[in-house]
Amino acid sequence: MQLGELEKQVLQYLWETEVADAKQVYAYFEKRRGGSLSTIQSTLDRLFKKGLLKRDKQGHAFQYQAAIERDTFIGQLIKGLTSEFNADKGNSLLAAFTSVSPEFNEDQLERLEQIIEDQRDKNKSDGSV
């Protein structure tokens, strides 16, 4: 999915405003970047068709709101990049700093922390001798 600059800005606006109709979105962008109402309407329509917005008809106008929260959207993109690796190890185009298995637990982390401390103490005592 590719997003145009205006689409990105509109999505950003709706993440902050939560609900707005085309006129409200136009009023906001008219001051900042100009453009026409029909451009905003078609942008909203495109975002709706891409599944990023949902809309509700109230009277003659559609009320738009983000179909997905910003954090969830970004999270899903990152998850998509990493889960590709889950399904078929090797298709991932990224190298993550660290990631965890669902089975990983606090006890295991504490055990690793103990290993670090022990080794650090050992190094200190070796250095002081």
At closest approach, how far in Å is the CB of 90 from another protein? 2
* DSSP label of 100: -
* Residue nearer to another protein on the CB measure, 58 or 123: 123
At closest approach, how far in Å is the CB of 61 from another protein? 28
* Residue nearer to another protein on the CB measure, 27 or 78: 78
What residues line the site for another protein (CB under 8 A)?
1-3, 8, 69-72, 74-86, 88-104, 106, 108-109, 112-113, 115-116, 119-120
* Residue nearer to another protein on the CB measure, 34 or 90: 90
Do 47 and 10 meet the contact criterion of CB atoms below 8 Å apart?
yes
Do 36 and 30 meet the contact criterion of CB atoms below 8 Å apart?
no
DSSP letters along 28-76, please? Answer: HHHHHH---HHHHHHHHHHHHHTTSEEEEEETTEEEEEESS-HHHHHHH
